Amino acid sequence: MSRNDEIADRLEEFADRLEADGVEYKPRAYRRAAENVRDSPADVAGLAADDGEAAIGEIEGVGDAISAKIVEYVETGEIEELEALRAEMPVDIGALTRVEGVGPKTVGSLYEALGVETLDDLEAAAEAEEIRDVSGFGAKTEGNILENIEFAREATERELLGEARPRGEGVVSYLDGQSGVERIDLAGSLRRWKETIGDVDVLVGSDDAEAVVAAFVDWPEADAVIEAGDQKASVRSGEVRVDLRVVDPAEFGSALQYFTGSKDHNVKLRNVAIEADLKMNEYGVFDVSDVDDPDADQRAGERVAGETEAGMYEALDLPWMPPEIRENWGEIEAAQAGELPDLVEPSAIRGDLHTHTGWSDGDHTVAEMVEGAAAFGHDYVAITDHATGPGMVGGVGVPDEELREQLEEVRAVADEADIEVFSGVEANVGTDGSVSVADDLLAELDVVVASPHAGLDGDGTDRLVAAAEHPEVDIIGHPTGRYINQRSGLDVDVERLASAAAESDTALEVNSNPARLDLGGGAVKAAVDSGATIAVDTDAHRPESYELVRYGVHTARRGWAQQTDVLNTRGVEGLREFLE
C-alpha cells in the first residue's frame, strides 16, 4: 500500500466515524480530501515531512485542519482525534459498512442502541430480531442486513483489482532488477485480471533462489514477513498477502501456466493432455506413452515442453491463450476449432464516453477534463454530468435548465479543443425504466448515458430494457449498479438486455472504475454473444482517472470482447454514425 493510500484510508475512516457520530458537513470534506490525496501524483507523506502543512494545503480540497492531521499522522503514526473517535465508538466500521444498507449513521445507531461492534455482533442482533426494534429500522431492513452479512464477510477477504494490481506490478518492478532474477511475472487471479484478488502471486525463474528470497523480504513495501523458505516466501503489504515462488528457469513456462490458473481451465487442459498420452503439470508436458505408472513421478516421461508458456499449449496442438479467458468458459473448445477471439487491446480505445466535471460531483472544469483526455491520448471525450434523480451522491444532480447552460459551455470548449468534444449527460434510470431528463433536452445532446443509481436490489432487467429502448439513450451505464465488496447490485438477465440493446443500437457499459467493473467479465461475454455493443468508459471525475481504462479493457477481454465489439475503439466518424 502506498503512503498516499494509507493516508487516504485514515481520512476516509475519519469521515465515516464523524458521520457515525452524527456530525454534519465535515465527513464530505474529509472524503474529498481523501480522494485527492489518493490520486495525488506527489508523495504526500514526503511533502508533509519536508514542507509541512503549507505543502499539503496545496492539494485541492485539503484545508488547514486536514493538513495538520496529515502532518500529525506522518510524524507520529496516528491522529489523536481519530484515536479518540475510535475509543469513543470501538466499532469495526470498515467491516460493518461493507454490509449493503449499513452506512456510518447506521453503525452509530446500532452501536448506541445495541452495542454492535463487529459483523458477528450485527449477525447476532439480526438473528435475535433486535434490530427491528431500533428507531428508524424495521423487519425488512433487519432481513436485508442479515442477508448481506455473508457477502460482507467474503469482501473482507479479497482486495479490489485496482488496489492489488499496482502492488503486484510494484513488486515485479522491484524484483526485476535484483541479482539472480532471470524471468518474472505475476500469476494467479491477478494475472487473469479478476475483479477481486485473494493474494498477489509472483513467479520468478532463477538459479539463485536464496538471493531472490532475500531481496523479496527486503522489499520496501513489505510491512511484515509471514514466512521465508528456500524457494518460497510471503510478506504482508498493507492488507494483502504477497506470495513469491522461485522455480528453475527451464520450468518457468510450465509453472507460469499452472499457477496462473484457473483451476477449471487447468483441469480441462490436463484431460486434453491425457487423451494424447501426455502428462501436464507445473513442471512441463511429458510424453508418458511408454511409462507404466505416469503418476509415480511428477517428471516421469520425456519432457516435451515447459520452458515457455506458449510451448505448453503448443504441445497440445493449441494456440497460447490470453490469461483473461482461462476460466473454462469454452476457450479450449474455441482454440481446438481455431476460433479464439482476437481480444481488444488497451491501445485500441480512442476516447471516453462517461466523464464528470464540477457541474455535478467531479473536481474539475469542463476545459480541464477535456485537456486531461487530450493529454492521455484520446481522440474524443464526452462530458456526461449527473442529471437529477434518486441515488445521486450528495444530491449533486444537475437540473435540466442547468444542463442547458452547461451545453453552451461544452460547445464553447469544443470550439477551442484539440480533440473532439461531445456534449452529454448521465441520466438516472428510475425503477420503472424512465429516464430523468426531458426528451427534448436529450435530443440536443450528443451522448446520453442512462444508469441506475437507486433501488439496486432485485431484478432490474425490465427497467434497463426500457431505458435501452428509449430512442435517445446511447449507453446503459454500470448496468447492475454494483460496488464490488460493498453491494451486489441488480440481478439482470444480460442476454435479454443485450438483445434489446443490440436491437436499439444502445451500448452496454463496462465501467472501468475498479470498485465497479460493471458489466463484469461473465456478463460481457453474455452481452457480446447476444450481439450487443460494449462501451469501455472510466466514469472519470478527474483527469487522473482516465488511466483506469485499462481495468475496463481487461474486464472486457475477460468477456471475450474484440475490438469490433467496443464502441469507443471507433474513430470520430464511426462513433457519430452509431450515436445518430
Tens digit of pLDDT for each residue in 358-412?
Answer: 999 888 999 999 999 999 999 999 999 999 876 555 457 899 999 999 999 999 9
Torsion of CA 77, 79, 80, 82, to 10 degrees: -130
Check pLDDT > 80 for residue 18: yes
Q: What is the pLDDT of residue 391?
A: 52
Q: How far apart are CA 478 and CA 537, in angstroms?
A: 10
Check pLDDT > 70 for residue 232: yes
Burial class (CB in 10 A: 0-12, 13-18, 19+), 22: exposed
> How is residue 442 written as a grid cell?
436529450
pLDDT, one tens digit per residue, over 21-48 is 998 888 888 888 888 887 776 778 877 7
Query: Which residues, in sequence order, are bridge partners of residue 225?
Result: 235
Which among 294, 280, 295 is positioned nearest to 332, based on CA atoms? 280
Terminus-to-terminus CA distance in the chain, angstroms?
45
| Residues in the chain, overall count | 580
Extended beta strands in 301-456, E state: 302-305, 351-352, 380-383, 420-428, 447-451
Cis peptide before 519 (omega within 30 of 0): yes
pLDDT, one tens digit per residue, over 197-212 is 989 999 999 999 999 9
**Confidence label for 149 from pLDDT (cuts 50, 70 and 90):** confident
* Full-model pTM: 0.80
Q: What is the pLDDT of residue 156?
A: 65
DSSP H helical segments within 318-365, as ranges?
Answer: 331-336
> How is residue 140 written as a grid cell?
425488512
Q: Which domains does the chain have, with CATH numbers?
A: 3-155 (1.10.150.110), 159-247 (3.30.460.10), 252-336 (3.30.210.10), 346-579 (3.20.20.140)
Other C-beta atoms within 10 Å of 336: how many? 14
Q: Render the burial of 464-499: b for 16+ CB within 10 Å, e for the rest.
A: bbbbbebebbbbbbbbbbbbbbbbbbbebbbbebbb
Backbone angles phi, psi at 413, to 5 degrees: -65, -40
Q: What is the pLDDT of residue 2?
A: 57
User: Which is it for strands 200-205 and 534-537: parallel, antiparallel or unpaired?
Assistant: unpaired
Residue with the bigger pLDDT between 237 and 576: it is 576
Residue with the bigger pLDDT between 352 and 50: it is 352
User: Residue 383 in contact with residue 343, Cβ under 8 Å?
Assistant: no
pLDDT, one tens digit per residue, over 291-307 is 888 888 889 999 999 99
User: Residue 552 in contact with residue 162, Cβ under 8 Å?
Assistant: no
pLDDT, one tens digit per residue, over 244-261 is 999 999 999 999 999 999
DSSP state of 348: G
Which among 216, 262, 214 is positioned nearest to 522, based on CA atoms? 262
Q: What is the pLDDT of residue 1?
A: 47
Which among 293, 326, 63 is positioned nearest to 194, based on CA atoms? 326
Biggest CA-to-CA distance, the chain: 80
User: Which is it for strands 534-537 and 351-352: parallel, antiparallel or unpaired?
Assistant: unpaired
Other C-beta atoms within 10 Å of 290: how many? 8
User: Residue 400 in contact with residue 387, Cβ under 8 Å?
Assistant: yes
pLDDT, one tens digit per residue, over 414-451 is 999 999 999 999 999 999 999 999 999 999 999 999 99
pLDDT, one tens digit per residue, over 305-349 is 999 999 999 999 999 999 999 999 999 999 999 999 999 999 999
DSSP state of 398: B
pLDDT, one tens digit per residue, over 377-389 is 999 999 999 998 7
Q: How far apart are CA 579 and CA 120, in angstroms?
A: 50
